[in-house]
């Protein structure tokens, strides 16, 4: 591999060296994460259009997307419902109208009678015959034989103010000027072993595929050229995570050598024994915390497996040696649940648990800040409020991140940086109830060591799941009444139906009114995201203590709520939710020794996707199997929350579709890190760019 400076021009060049790029265009390109000419090479088309053939006007039919050309027979501006420019073209076989709602005087002048114009667009029926609305066009000299496109025309992802013709022009400039300089950093034998083409050929093919290209393969993302680029993209992200891991192994952390008397006292007071998986995970954590470099461990386990108890036991390692622990939750409701659990467990041990959320009054927040700053608060539980400027920890030794995929990389980094203690970083324990298949975890979380809790606490019974059409809602109301009269409790969840908190709360409120009217002898409560924290807390407390029998809620109760007496979960509009979210909601019941049920109410007819999701839930309670199906149905971007995390924002690769490349990615990564550090940095810079600045998360 040539690592000379001449082969790194592709990284150093400025976008403004391209014709047509000024400050405004550069700003729009930045929205597409394009900051250098080379970035344009890796902006791959979303689809392609065939502009290699010319269709006579007389042969066009509605719905056809094609190239046409003809003489302009008439140009006029009409004022009907809106000001419109109409241009009629003819070619001897027929005629077609070009319709423009937005046009300039220059366009009107250029499209004058007698000019010859070539257009591309979709043919549709109009009031005066066939027409194209806002086609791409150019005026040409019909005496010159203008050749048609020789390759398929790429359609790129774009942004406001950046039209396809300009974007294609910039990409073509980048190809002509910078593609020859692009360095292929992956050893050739690694590529040929998988029957893949070289980098430059792959890039060129993706931007300029021949007319006979396999559009089905390109559309499915399985063309050999896409696979070559997917391999490199996966490799770059994997390398960035390996670099994070490598960097953290060189940075100092507070060594927590294992004063376990406090923890032993905590475990002895629990009304249950830890499972084998919980103890094995705690052993992994103990070994990490005793080290002199920051622990970075992911604990994944199914809902209800007892991750929170493990986190509390780990926290006592730090507290016993006079340090602090920060526990970060993605929502106030989950944070409040953690606050209550930790206070119940730790207050009898003389440990102060502080709560920090955006809902605190200014005076209360100032008091918590003081307790955190002087070390009086040993365990601090909070939401995004933990990131606020002005919050200084006395001696932060451990950060616990719950439901980690809900947080952005920069947020976790900022909390880690708050924990500097004598230039040492705090240890980091990351927890998720979204189980991740091993191959995917090795790629997506290469910076983390992993522990898995598969065992559920003894005495738990499988949850029976049934799906019923919403017309049977009245029958389910009676079923909830019977369960509550038997001393049990029920959740009735109204999830987000449209992208509006207001609509979500209205749905919950109307359902609450319906159930309260139908069951006047029961106490029916309500919790949704638009309620004040105190009101939510009051309702949750009433439900937890049994003063309330039925809780109508939105999906804010998806994680963290633990009420052993709750044995019935009813989920409205189940067909609109993803598998993992349904499984998380289902996991709110089945936490005691009584048999539990989950009822999925749906509005028929069910789509094929909804049938598959519901079928999976009916057939298994295993969160790992549910997660695998969810990954197959929705992709890792949704399941892992990568739209939030910033690390695994894959443009080309798909971690499920391209899972067979993962072993090669890991093997090549090891080879490059051992012998080609220049290649490692170059690949990360090429695919991730500024994203790699989060390298200490």
Per-residue CA distances from 657 to 194, 357, 434 (Å) = 16, 40, 19
Angle between helices 608-619 and 579-586 (to 10 degrees): 40
CA proximity to 695, closest of 238, 232, 35, 248: 248
Q: How many CB atoms lie within 10 A of CB 541?
A: 14
CB-CB contact of 241 with 447 (8 Å): yes
Q: What is the mean pLDDT of residues 478-493?
A: 94
Per-residue pLDDT of 23-39, as tens digits, reads 999 999 998 889 899 99
b/e map 131-163, b = 16+ CB within 10 Å: bbeebbbeeeeeeeeeeeeebbbbebebeeebe
Catalogue the long-range contacts made by 21-26 (C-beta closer than 8 Å, 24 or more residues apart): 21/170, 24/161, 25/162, 25/166
Per-residue pLDDT of 435-471, as tens digits, reads 666 666 777 777 788 899 988 887 777 899 999 998 9
- Residue linked to tokens 């937005």: 102
Q: If you average pLDDT over every residue of the chain, what do you get?
A: 85
Per-residue pLDDT of 205-234, as tens digits, reads 999 999 999 988 998 899 999 999 999 999
**What is the distance between the alpha carbons of residues 364 and 357, in angstroms, rounded to a whole number?**
10
pLDDT band per the 50, 70, 90 thresholds, residue 547: very high
Tell me whether the omega of the peptide bond preceding residue 78 falls within 30 degrees of 0, making it cis. Answer: no
**What is the distance between the alpha carbons of residues 294 and 387, in angstroms, rounded to a whole number?**
20
Run of H or E including 302: none
Run of H or E including 65: strand 65-79
H helices of 620-676, in order, are 623-634, 636-639, 642-645, 662-675
- Is pTM beyond 0.75? Reply is no
Check whether 319 has a pLDDT greater than 60: yes
Lowest mean pLDDT among 271-280, 404-413, 539-548: 404-413
Cβ-based neighbours of 589, under 8 Å, separated by 6 or more: 463, 491, 566, 567, 568, 569, 596, 597, 598
pLDDT band per the 50, 70, 90 thresholds, residue 406: low
Per-residue pLDDT of 247-275, as tens digits, reads 878 888 989 987 888 999 999 999 889 99
Per-residue pLDDT of 642-665, as tens digits, reads 433 334 567 888 877 888 888 899
Output the pLDDT for position 87: 96
* Helices and strands counted in the chain (H then E): 26, 21
Output the pLDDT for position 208: 95
H helices of 320-435, in order, are 332-346, 362-374, 409-418
CB-CB contact of 636 with 628 (8 Å): no
Angle between helices 677-687 and 224-248 (to 10 degrees): 110
DSSP 411-468: HHHHHHHHT-BTTBBPEEEEEESS---HHHHHHHTTTSEEEEE-PPPTT--PEEEEEE
CB-CB contact of 549 with 484 (8 Å): yes
Cβ-based neighbours of 131, under 8 Å, separated by 6 or more: 96, 97, 98, 99, 123, 124, 125
Quote the tokens at residue 210.
């021949």
Output the pLDDT for position 622: 84
Per-residue pLDDT of 664-694, as tens digits, reads 998 999 999 999 999 999 999 888 875 444 4
CB-CB contact of 108 with 75 (8 Å): yes
Domains of the chain, earliest start first? 5-48+156-213 (no CATH), 53-148 (2.40.50.140), 261-453 (3.40.50.300), 463-620 (3.40.50.300)
């Amino acid at each position: 591999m040539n690592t000379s400076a001449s082969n790194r021009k592709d990284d150093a060049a400025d976008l403004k060296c391209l014709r047509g790029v000024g400050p405004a265009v550069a700003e729009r390109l930045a929205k597409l994460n394009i900051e250098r000419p080379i970035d344009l090479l890796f902006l791959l088309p979303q689809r392609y259009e065939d502009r290699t053939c010319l269709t006579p006007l007389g042969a066009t039919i509605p719905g056809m997307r094609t190239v046409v050309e003809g003489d302009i027979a008439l140009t006029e501006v009409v004022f009907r419902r809106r000001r419109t420019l109409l241009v009629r073209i003819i070619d001897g076989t027929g005629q077609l109208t070009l319709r423009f709602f937005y046009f300039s005087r220059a366009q009107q002048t250029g499209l004058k009678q007698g000019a010859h114009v070539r257009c591309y667009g979709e043919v549709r029926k109009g009031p005066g015959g066939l027409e194209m609305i806002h086609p791409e066009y150019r005026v040409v000299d019909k005496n010159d034989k203008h050749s048609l496109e020789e390759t398929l025309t790429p359609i790129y992802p774009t942004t406001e103010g950046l039209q396809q013709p300009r974007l294609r022009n910039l990409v073509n400039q980048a190809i002509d000027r910078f593609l020859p300089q692009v360095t292929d950093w992956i050893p050739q034998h690694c590529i040929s072993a998988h029957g893949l083409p070289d980098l430059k050929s792959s890039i060129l093919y993706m931007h300029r595929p021949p007319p006979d290209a396999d559009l089905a393969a390109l559309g499915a993302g399985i063309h050999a050229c896409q696979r070559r680029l997917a391999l490199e993209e996966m490799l770059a992200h994997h390398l960035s995570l390996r670099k994070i891991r490598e960097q953290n192994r060189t940075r100092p952390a507070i060594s927590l050598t294992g004063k376990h008397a406090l923890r032993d006292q905590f475990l002895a007071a629990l009304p249950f024994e830890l499972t084998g998986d919980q103890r094995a995970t705690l052993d992994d954590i103990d070994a990490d915390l005793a080290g002199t470099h920051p622990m970075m461990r992911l604990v994944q386990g199914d809902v209800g497996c007892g991750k929170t108890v493990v986190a509390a036991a780990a926290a006592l390692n730090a507290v016993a040696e006079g340090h602090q622990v920060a526990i970060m939750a993605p929502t106030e409701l989950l944070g409040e649940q953690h606050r209550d659990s930790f206070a119940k467990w730790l207050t009898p041990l003389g440990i102060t648990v502080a709560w920090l959320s955006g809902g605190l009054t200014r005076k209360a927040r100032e008091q918590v800040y003081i307790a955190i700053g002087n070390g009086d608060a040993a365990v601090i539980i909070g939401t995004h409020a933990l990131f606020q400027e002005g919050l200084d920890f006395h001696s932060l030794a451990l950060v616990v991140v719950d439901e980690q995929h809900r947080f952005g990389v920069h947020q976790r980094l900022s909390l880690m940086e708050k924990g500097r203690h004598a230039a040492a970083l705090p240890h980091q324990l990351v927890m998720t109830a979204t189980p991740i298949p091993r191959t995917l975890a090795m790629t997506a979380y290469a910076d983390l060591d992993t522990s898995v809790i598969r065992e559920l606490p003894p005495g738990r019974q499988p949850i029976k799941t049934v799906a019923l059409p919403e017309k049977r809602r009245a029958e389910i109301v009676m079923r909830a009444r019977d369960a509550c009269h038997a001393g049990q409790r029920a959740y009735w969840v109204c999830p987000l139906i449209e992208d509006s908190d207001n609509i979500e709360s209205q749905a919950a409120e109307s359902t609450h009114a319906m159930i309260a009217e139908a069951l006047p002898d029961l106490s029916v409560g309500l919790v949704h995201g638009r309620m004040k924290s105190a009101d939510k807390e009051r309702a949750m407390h009433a439900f937890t203590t049994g003063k309330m029998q039925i809780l109508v809620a939105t999906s804010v109760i998806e994680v963290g709520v633990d009420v052993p007496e709750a044995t019935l979960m009813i989920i409205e509009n189940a067909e609109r939710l993803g598998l993992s979210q349904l499984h998380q909601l289902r996991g709110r019941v089945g936490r005691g020794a009584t048999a539990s049920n989950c009822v999925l109410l749906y509005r028929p007819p069910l789509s094929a996707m909804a049938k598959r999701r519901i079928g999976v839930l009916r057939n298994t309670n295993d969160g790992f199997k549910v997660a695998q199906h969810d990954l197959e149905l929705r992709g890792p971007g949704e399941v892992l929350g990568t739209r939030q995390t910033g690390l695994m924002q894959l443009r080309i690769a798909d971690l499920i579709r391209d899972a067979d490349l993962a072993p090669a990615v890991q093997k090549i990564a090891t080879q490059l890190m051992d012998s080609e550090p220049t290649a490692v940095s170059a690949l990360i810079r090429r695919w991730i760019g500024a994203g790699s600045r989060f390298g200490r998360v």
